[in-house]
Amino acid sequence: MRSKIPDDYLVRLLRRCYTTPGCFTGRLCARNSGVRSPSTLSAWRNLEQQRDISLPIGSQYRAYQTYHSNSQNVDLYKTTSNLAQETQNPQFDAAVTRNNGNQPRIAVIGGGITGLATAYYLTKEVPRAKITLYEGNKRLGGWLQSKSVEVENGTVLLEQGPRTLRHASPSGMLTLRLVEELGLQDEMLITPKNSAAAMNRFIYYPDHLVKMPGPGQDLYQMLWTVLREPAFKGIIPGILFEVRRPGRHTSSDSRDPDDESIASFLERRLGSSAPIDNLVSAVIHGIYAGDVYRLSAASLMPEAYAREEIYGGFVAAIGNFVKQGKTGSVLRKDHALLNEMRGKVSLDMKTRMQNASVYSFKGGISTLPEALESSLRANPNVTIELGKKVESLVYGGKTNTINVGSLQYDRVISTISAPATSSILSISSPISSLSQIPFVTVMVVNLYFNDPNILPEQGFGYLIPRSIPFEQNPECALGVVFDSDSLRGQDTAPGTKVTVMLGGHWWDDFTTNPDADEAISMARAVLKRHLNIDEQPHAVNATLQKNCIPQYTVGHKARLKDAHHRLMSEFGGKLAVAGSSYTGVGMNDCIRAARDLAKEVAADENVTGLESFVQPQQWVLI
């Protein structure tokens, strides 16, 4: 006799059973209910040792000041009884029954890397769903723009936005798995760890290139550089005496204990502003094009910020790890993803990436969104609407659906910027926590020279700190990438290729931005002053990437916590958001957010995509 229980119910129940640690624990215990064998005992001990530690951050933590000295690990695993209660939840039954035999309609707004990845993962996690992807422009890919240019002796590839990917993180491993799923292994180009690009990274201070200490360098050479170069002023005493400085909850100052700027945080830990102005600001320019005195430490340095919260400082944290035989800590969700990806990324890919620093593709970084687009267009359940800008989202409370224009959807996922999302919500009052997230504009100038030996140094490039004299950087440059060194194999013509990045937070108060010709002149002036390159480039390209990088300023987490509650209240968990505005600005971050959200939609959860901002951070010692 055929079961009357819907197939989806059984599949979902089995999936939850095999992905719920509590259920795994139950199976492990039941395997030998009498006398446990040595192998079972060993497995049990391993499971116990891998249990993670819940470390509430911010105001919730203050009751845990003596956490590691006298409290027990918090067991966050669900039990089998929890699972039974969950599967008996009427809402769970109703959700499964409601969708049985129907095709859920899902709209994805935005065709950048997040939108494409979201639609792709939805086709995997909810294969029956009818998915419509809306993109206001005539092309997909967002900020990922690769351009091939004909030159005298062949072609060169110019990247007008991001150019390489890193794999050495949980999110990076997820992207590697995506590369495999899309069949792009043969298109990959890898920069090895022992290359000049990986080993030689520079900052410009105050009037020359300074090589940053890094792997592969002689210890005495690094020490000599740190002692000799003014760029490293304050760094040695800052580290030596860091352990003596009080944590933020024992300090008498008036700074918000739950968040502060990166500059405020590190100056307090290191006892000097010099390392922040000379070193940290340069790194922040390279990643976020932002102001180290405005960006959030809690959002952009979560591990370091948590270590001070829990242990009192960096050195104290390291000492605690050593005592426990650990090397550090990682967010529980990252630990889980890393373990999952270790089993999914192929051995061949792992072997290939073992000595990799960064990677991209023969046809440029646009290869990735193009492959996602091809996969989506081949799926009969996916519709791509180019040149169709969504003007409004209206929630129908009675039908529990959202109208996009005249069309009705069971779910909508917005991957456009937070301010753009806020502007299309048809609600009584705007969600200011979304609309007020600031962005910066970056001018990307690519220059190609016929001479292959024009650079004074080989390496990845250099970044420019906020502290160099104005006369050394009147163009407001953020940094220069030596593209010819950082990734080889994309060009058929010999020569030198560099990219100059201008603007970022330096242009916040500008009423107008330079045009392409002005930007090229500015970039050439930077190269002449810093690198003594005065030759005429044989190919140039200037791209104004307006409002391209969101700024996670102080209070970012609190604002998104508010946004979560507002979205849940106004749209009942049927509208979710993902993208660089929220949980990370990198490509790996965006792909991770897309995949996480698709899985939550598959579980028929009412979500906003911002749940991580209302939950305490949980760390695992590794």
- pLDDT-derived band at 214, boundaries 50, 70, 90: confident
Which of 60, 77, 94 is the last residue in one of the domains? 77
Residues 372 and 432 in one domain: yes
- The answer to whether residues 278 and 465 touch, using CB atoms and an 8 Å cutoff, is yes
Residues 71 and 115 in one domain: no
Asked if the structure places residue 396 within a domain, the reply is yes
- pLDDT-derived band at 215, boundaries 50, 70, 90: confident
Q: What is the pLDDT of residue 101?
A: 56
Asked if the structure places residue 408 within a domain, the reply is yes
Amino acid (one-letter) located at 310: I
Residues 61 and 113 in one domain: no
Total domains in the fold of the chain: 2
Which of 40, 62, 77 is the last residue in one of the domains? 77
Across 407-429, average pLDDT = 97
Residues 35 and 72 in one domain: yes
Asked if the structure places residue 232 within a domain, the reply is no
Q: Looking at residue 132, which CATH number applies to its domain?
A: 3.50.50.60
Q: Is the pLDDT of residue 92 over 60?
A: no
pTM for this one? 0.84
Q: What is the pLDDT of residue 3?
A: 43
- The answer to whether residues 620 and 335 touch, using CB atoms and an 8 Å cutoff, is yes
pLDDT digits (tens, 9 = 90+) for 601-614: 999 989 999 999 99
Asked if the structure places residue 412 within a domain, the reply is yes
Asked if the structure places residue 522 within a domain, the reply is no
Q: Could you count the other beta carbons within 10 Å of the beta carbon of residue 40?
A: 14
What CA–CA distance (Å, rounded) separates 429 from 433? 12
Asked if the structure places residue 159 within a domain, the reply is no
Residues 62 and 109 in one domain: no
- pLDDT-derived band at 463, boundaries 50, 70, 90: very high
Asked if the structure places residue 127 within a domain, the reply is yes
Which of 77, 92, 121 is the last residue in one of the domains? 77
- pLDDT-derived band at 218, boundaries 50, 70, 90: confident
Strand 439-449 with 575-577, pairing: unpaired
Residues 425 and 380 in one domain: yes
Q: Is the pLDDT of residue 80 over 60?
A: no
Cβ-in-10-Å burial (0-12, 13-18, 19+) of 393 comes to buried
Q: Which uninterrupted H or E stretch holds 529?
A: helix 516-531
Q: Is the pLDDT of residue 37 over 90?
A: no
What CA–CA distance (Å, rounded) separates 291 from 276? 11
| Range name among 90-94, 216-220, 506-510, 546-550 with the lowest pLDDT average | 90-94
Residues 72 and 113 in one domain: no
Q: Which uninterrupted H or E stretch holds 462?
A: strand 461-463
Mean pLDDT of all residues in the chain? 87
| SS3 at position 253 | coil
What CA–CA distance (Å, rounded) separates 396 from 408? 9
Q: N- to C-terminal Cα distance for the chain?
A: 50
Across 490-511, average pLDDT = 97
CB burial string 255-288: b at 16+ within 10 A, e below:
eebbbbbbbbbbbbbbbebbbbbbbbbbbbbbeb
Residues 110 and 67 in one domain: no
Residues 70 and 112 in one domain: no
Residues 370 and 430 in one domain: yes
Q: Which single residue is written with the structure tokens 């080993």?
A: 199
Residues 379 and 427 in one domain: yes
What CA–CA distance (Å, rounded) separates 80 from 268? 46
Quote the domain boundaries for residue 56.
Answer: 21-77
Residues 70 and 120 in one domain: no
Q: Is the pLDDT of residue 16 over 90?
A: no
Give the angle subtended at the CA of 428 by the CAs of 426 and 432, to the nearest 5°.
85
| Range name among 36-40, 118-122, 452-456 with the lowest pLDDT average | 36-40
Asked if the structure places residue 517 within a domain, the reply is no
> H helices of 345-480, where?
347-353, 367-377, 418-423, 432-435
